[in-house]
Chain A
Amino acid sequence: MFSMNNKEEINLSAYNEVADNHGYIDNLETIPETDVREFVKVGIETDKALRAGTFIQKDSSILHCSRSMEGVEVKGIASALKEHEWLGEYVWRLIPHDKDDITRNMNKVPDQGFFIGIKKGVKAAKPLQTCLHIAKENFSQKVHNIIVAEEDSEIHIIAGCSTSEHLKSGLHIGLSEFYVKKGAVLKYTMIHDWGENVCVRPKTAVHVEEGGVYISNYISLKPVGSIVANPVTYLEKNATARINSVLVAGQGSFMDMGSIVELNAPGARAEIISRAIVAGGTIISRGHLMGKEPGVKGHLECKGLILKNGLLHAIPELSGHTPGVEMSHEAAVGKIDKREIEYLMARGLDEEEAISTIVRGFLNVEIEGLPAELAAKIDQAVKETEKDMM
């Protein structure tokens, strides 16, 4: 019943390419309540004071775009490309346009999506937020996002993706090219909340220069039709990447998620950690560390729980291309250990409470830099997920 059937093949022409213009809202705080409810689920704050900047795209319209600090730029990609001639060099540099059918289907000159630039040495104390939302039934949202974190800059971006509650079908293709320059730190936390029949095909590539740090947190707890993503991170000398993902595949969800990190120069460090729960769906959890130079270090951890019927396929890969690389992995797939349940019951929890405590703990990957309010929201989402699973 559950298989690693190839859901990668999607019929691009089956989706609508045109959506209404939703207009532009100047003030973040005046976004209609119905929209706010959808955005909040993926970490969006409507209090401008809490964010360094905001970008919200609904279908193909930029609903709102603003920034609240100097040295940080956030814009629609189309206008950013018009304004900055140099930006063209960053487009299609990490992901070739002719890579596959999906990339070929994207516009050569991006017209949807965002550009975020952080100037040299600027350290944003507050996170910047983006939201890509699909509201129109069967709409195909195609975005191309570029982030350039200049030398010694620092920023945390909370990127939410969601669909309207009533939406049944849709397609999201997100091409993302991130550039983390020398000594810069980019934290990127993605929270996905898709509809049950929505297909998602993100393609992400990240280049981290000497001494730079890239931290990616990916959280998807709600049912999704299918998602296939295998982002690639290229690390230069003494660069670090930490990739965390928390996945829950409910009834009918298909997730083929992975991460490839190329450790291309001495001193590069990488850690890929994934926690996956299958409760009626399929998760293929991939991870691949490639050690290409001596003196690189990497660890891959892939843990999965099968709570209800489903398939959980962990594929951890390590490839060393030279002596002097140090890489390890651990993978475990199974059910909740009865000893753990009974241990908690001996402390007074009933069986259901014990299971939900273990599940919450299992999903509790420490996400560095996660704002408290977002952590609380994730905790709430985990609770809701448990209710669905019980």
Chain B
Amino acid sequence: MLIIEDLKVEVGDTEILQNVNLHVPPGETHILFGPNGSGKTSLMMTIMGFSGYKVTGGKITFKGEDVTYMPIHERARLGIGVLFQRPPTINGLSTRRMVEICAGGKKVDVDALSRTLRFDSFIERDVNHNLSGGEIKRSELLQLSAQQPDLLLLDEPESGVDLESIALLGDSINSLLNRGIKRQSPCHTTIMERTPKSALVITHTGHILDYITADKGQVLYKGKLRCSRNAREILKWIREYGYEECVECSA
């Protein structure tokens, strides 16, 4: 689904990602751990093609297509979707209209979707205007539910969200990924027949792992990917010994 090879990225004149290699196969959810400033968000922004992140080497391939220098909207239309940590407010544009935009011409029941995400009372509000941390995440998920990407890039989905809302959030992410058991058909066979989607999830605290199933974890430290193994194991190591020890172990 997503293959990153020897990726080097600069912001301004500073190299922030060095020779990153990452492979997220179809249907897998990968967790990206890393301390603040390690380059996690930069990697995500580069995958999506945001300005300010200059690729100086390497290649990003999505669904077999080289997307390294593709405009943002073409990557979105190809099936990459981002849950932003701090998205901007768009004055005068209602969330309802935004959700319709995300659907890209497909029919979408905005009211039903917003009820599921407990966002119905904010649906006419300008996009991200005066929302709490949890409400922003729900708005982002609502947009992604309409967009239906094949690869989800989730930037710290649990940050600023209270415990009660994390469960709802995890539930919605699972639903988007065609995984998990809640709000899906009780018949296991039906669930197994649905193709799961891919995801790359940035997390700082690891709380989200209580709600979503990860296939693999990776640690990004000082611009380099240092470790790749079971996500829960990595989390245990980080909690026990901190990032530096975790990196040393994998070195």
Contact = CB atoms under 8 A, between A and B. Distances in A.
A365 B126 CA distance: 12
Interface stretch (A119-127, A169-177, A312-320, A339-347): A339-347
B181 interface: no
A337 B87 CA distance: 12
A1 to B, nearest CB: 29
A349 B92 contact: no
A354 B98 CA distance: 11
A338 B126 contact: no
Nearest to A337: B88
Given A338-B51, A357-B101, A361-B126, A345 B73 contact: yes
A340 B50 contact: no
Given A339-B88, A343-B88, A348 B93 contact: no
B73 A340 contact: no
B90 A343 contact: yes
A300 B81 CA distance: 38
Contacts of A354: 73
Contacts of A340: 88, 90
B56 to A, nearest CB: 20
B126 A345 contact: no
Contact of B143 (A347, A349, A360, A364): A347
B72 interface: yes
Interface of B: 48, 50-51, 71-73, 76-77, 81-82, 84, 87-88, 90-93, 98, 101-102, 104, 126, 143, 147
Nearest to B45: A342
Contact of A364 (B48, B51, B92): B92
A361 B102 CA distance: 16
B101 A344 contact: yes
B71 A350 contact: yes
Q: DSSP majority for the B interface? A: mixed
Given A338-B51, A361-B126, A348 B104 contact: yes
B82, B84, B101: most-surrounded residue (chain A CB, <10 A): B101
Contacts of B92: 360-365
Contacts of B77: 348
Contacts of B73: 345-346, 348-351, 354
Contacts of B93: 357-358, 360-361, 364
Given A346-B81, A351-B73, A364-B92, 13 more contacts: A337-B88, A339-B88, A343-B88, A345-B72, A346-B73, A347-B76, A347-B101, A347-B147, A348-B101, A357-B90, A357-B93, A363-B92, A364-B93
Contacts of B147: 347-348
A361 B84 CA distance: 21
Nearest to B101: A347
B91 A349 contact: no
Contact of A342 (B51, B104, B143): B51
In the complex, which range does the number of interface residues on chain A fall in? Answer: 20 to 34
A344 to B, nearest CB: 7
A342 B126 contact: no
Given A357-B101, A362-B91, A364-B92, A346 B76 contact: yes
A13 to B, nearest CB: 44
Contacts of A362: 91-92
A349 B91 CA distance: 17
B189 to A, nearest CB: 33
Contacts of A338: 51
Contact of A358 (B51, B71, B81, B90): B90
Nearest to B86: A339
B208 to A, nearest CB: 21
Nearest to B104: A348
A343 B84 contact: yes
B81 to A, nearest CB: 8
Contacts of A361: 90-93, 126
Nearest to B144: A347
Contact of B48 (A337, A346, A365): A346
A343 B127 CA distance: 11
A351 B71 contact: yes
Nearest to B87: A343
A157 B23 CA distance: 63
A363 B91 CA distance: 9
Contacts of B84: 343, 346
B71 A347 contact: no
A363 to B, nearest CB: 7
Contact of A346 (B82, B90, B126): B82
A44 B50 CA distance: 46
Interface string A1-34: 0000000000000000000000000000000000
Contacts of A365: 92
B71 A345 contact: yes
B91 to A, nearest CB: 6
Contacts of A343: 84, 87-88, 90
Nearest to A360: B92
Contacts of A363: 92
Contact of A348 (B87, B91, B102): B102
Nearest to B103: A348
A343 B102 CA distance: 11
Nearest to A339: B88
Nearest to A275: B92
Contacts of A339: 88
Contacts of A346: 48, 50, 72-73, 76, 81-82, 84
A364 to B, nearest CB: 3
A194 to B, nearest CB: 25
Nearest to B147: A347
